[in-house]
């Protein structure tokens, strides 16, 4: 697993600059301001107040049974999937969603939430986006997403199914300006009657085979449509 040891890079990490927004021309990892996002903790169950009544979980209360996307979780989506419980889940607010759209250069999608592997010591993210309406195919949505990225080469698309949901995956190479080396990026688009969801693996260690890839494969293997 690659580790970044230079003093300059460590300084960038300290201020939260090096994350997975990898499509700007001059920064391959500028992180959305944490102050503009809702951070959720580990899963919490219903609580009982002084009245003896069970309180309903609030939006942003955390993962529900280790899943993300279901109603009542911090990031409701057209699909749900299992996420690593030791990762940090952050929901994008309206302000941070607009900021991310401008920063990342992805006007075709809406930022929903971000899963960060930082608690594991790895600099990597799974960012989750939605697309309004079911008009596009997963392949069209993903091709459009990749076309908005910068410094991309050798995209390889595979059409597949996740459960009974039509999906398309992509693996491509992207030249990272901060690290001055090529990075492997991957993502997928999955379609439901409620719309399209895009998962994108980002960050300086997005090609990490011990943490990042297993989390991505876990999401794929447990993908299902929400009701």
Q: What percent of the chain has pLDDT over 70?
A: 66
Q: Residue 42: which of 6, 88, 10, 5 has the closest Cα? A: 88
| pTM (predicted TM-score) | 0.71
List the one residue out of 40, 50, 107 whose CA is nearest residue 72. Answer: 40
**pLDDT given for residue 201 in this prediction:** 93
Give residue 177's pLDDT band: very low, low, confident or very high (50, 70, 90): low
pLDDT-derived band at 105 (thresholds 50, 70, 90) equals: low
**Which has the minimum average pLDDT: 21-30, 105-114, 169-178?**
21-30
Average pLDDT, the chain: 73
Q: Which residues, 6 or more positions from 63, have their beta carbon under 8 angstroms from its beta carbon?
A: 40, 42, 43, 73, 74, 83, 85, 89
Delimit the domains of the chain by residue range: 7-36+60-225
Residue with tokens 């009544």: 53
**Helical segments of 105-191, H only:** 138-147
Q: What's the mean pLDDT in 162-171?
A: 95
Q: Reply yes or no on domain 7-36+60-225 having CATH 3.40.1000.10.
A: yes
Q: What is the pLDDT of residue 157?
A: 96
| Nearest C-alpha neighbor of 128 from the set 20, 16, 15, 17 | 20
């Amino acid at each position: 697993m690659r580790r970044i040891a230079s003093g300059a890079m460590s300084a960038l990490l300290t201020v939260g600059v090096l994350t997975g927004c990898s499509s700007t021309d001059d920064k391959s990892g500028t992180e959305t301001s944490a102050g503009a996002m809702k951070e959720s903790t580990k899963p919490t169950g219903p609580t009982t107040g002084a009245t003896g009544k069970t309180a309903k979980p609030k939006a942003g209360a955390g993962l529900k049974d280790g899943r993300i996307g279901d109603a009542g979780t911090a990031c409701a989506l057209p699909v749900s999937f299992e996420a690593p419980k030791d990762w940090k889940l952050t929901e994008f607010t309206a302000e941070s969603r607009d900021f991310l759209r401008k920063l990342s250069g992805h006007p075709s999608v809406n930022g929903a939430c971000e899963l960060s592997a930082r608690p594991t010591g790895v600099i990597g993210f799974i960012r989750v986006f939605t697309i309004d309406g079911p008009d596009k195919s997963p392949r069209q949505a993903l091709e459009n997403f990749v076309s908005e990225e910068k410094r991309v080469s050798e995209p390889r698309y595979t059409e597949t199914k996740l459960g009974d949901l039509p999906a398309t995956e992509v693996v491509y190479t992207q030249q990272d300006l901060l690290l001055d080396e090529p990075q492997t990026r991957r993502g997928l688009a999955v379609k439901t009657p409620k719309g399209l969801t895009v998962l994108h693996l980002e960050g300086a260690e997005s090609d990490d085979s011990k943490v990042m890839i297993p989390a991505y494969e876990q999401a794929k293997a447990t993908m299902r449509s929400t009701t």
